[in-house]
Structure 1
């Protein structure tokens, strides 16, 4: 078994039991868990010392997962995803089938479709979206490398994925808020 499949297996075993992981995403190192498990989501808020009103995002591995989480998806969402040349997080209205404490107070959820092999394969195994939030204590800078991650974060997760530790992270994703009436707001370029 290659390194990615071994790590997917190890991470899945932790996540299916309600654990949280530290893992490489298509952008920065992230802290994640099963996006449908409110207790696991709560552990991430506690570890990051983050208020639960500051929502986190969910990674998805395809349109099927997207349709499982949102009743309605504006056509513009697909156009943005098709045209984006870099990772783009979309904040969409009225999510369902995820942990209530992952949903923002305005009833939205940020999601990003990823093709990065580790995340993609892990979600394929989970058959659920994966929470993703930067691997830092709330208010501190986002680490650009694994070596910059606060030891408190590393010791606070249930599993640290053992691939891409030498990777220098790209900047965080673009964030675009898209309402059901197709109003588009760029939150972070």
Structure 2
């Protein structure tokens, strides 16, 4: 089990984490590191054609990676009653293999204290994908994470191992015309 400081070092060295998020347990890495993102895909047995979700800790960071940030998103994020992932077009500065085939990316502004500490410490967004083998059920709490996943990461963040299980985020896509499409 890793402390937040140890997890920071793991991220900076291109490693992958098993960590709690504001939704389900996730696999994560520096979202700008293509090799680390590839390692997550390989561990999950996931097709390279599938995109990931990226977590940021502030509107400032979100705007840095989404230069054409739609104004409507401020209200959507502020008013959402549960964690909200928004799919944006034309992000910049992220690893190419973290993006969807159409070049879009799902980003969530997290309010989870441990995740915020990690993001602040490396000053970059973190990949967040469910901590499961592709095609298997999503583990909503640590007890549901498979041994293969636990053994395949470089560090497990020790926070909240006995925490109550949660659910995945809502996902929406914002169109160029500020239209909103609900994905999940």
Structure 2: give runs of 5+ residues left out of the alignment.
none
- The counterpart of 2:82, out of the listed 76, 80, 86, is 86
Note the 1:1-189 alignment, pairs <5 A. 7-188=3-184
Q: Distance in 2 between matches of 1:45 and 1:27?
A: 20
CA contact (8 A) 2:141 2:166 kept: no
1:82 is displaced (CA, Å) by 1.0
CA contact (8 A) 1:72 1:180 kept: no
1:144 is displaced (CA, Å) by 2.2
Alpha carbon RMSD of aligned pairs, Å? 1.2
CA contact (8 A) 2:44 2:132 kept: yes
Q: Once superposed, which parts of structure 1, at least 4 consecutive aligned residues long, lie more than 4 Å away?
A: none
Q: Secondary structure at the match of 2:183?
A: strand
Q: How many residues align?
A: 184
Q: CA offsets, 1:17-38, max 9 Å, x none?
A: 0000000000110000000000
Q: Secondary structure at the match of 1:31?
A: strand
1:71 is displaced (CA, Å) by 1.6
1:163 is displaced (CA, Å) by 1.3
1:52 is displaced (CA, Å) by 1.3
Q: Distance in 2 between matches of 1:72 and 1:127?
A: 21
1:132 is displaced (CA, Å) by 0.1
For normalisation by structure 2, the TM-score amounts to: 0.97
Q: Distance in 2 between matches of 1:144 and 1:45?
A: 19
Q: Secondary structure at the match of 1:182?
A: coil
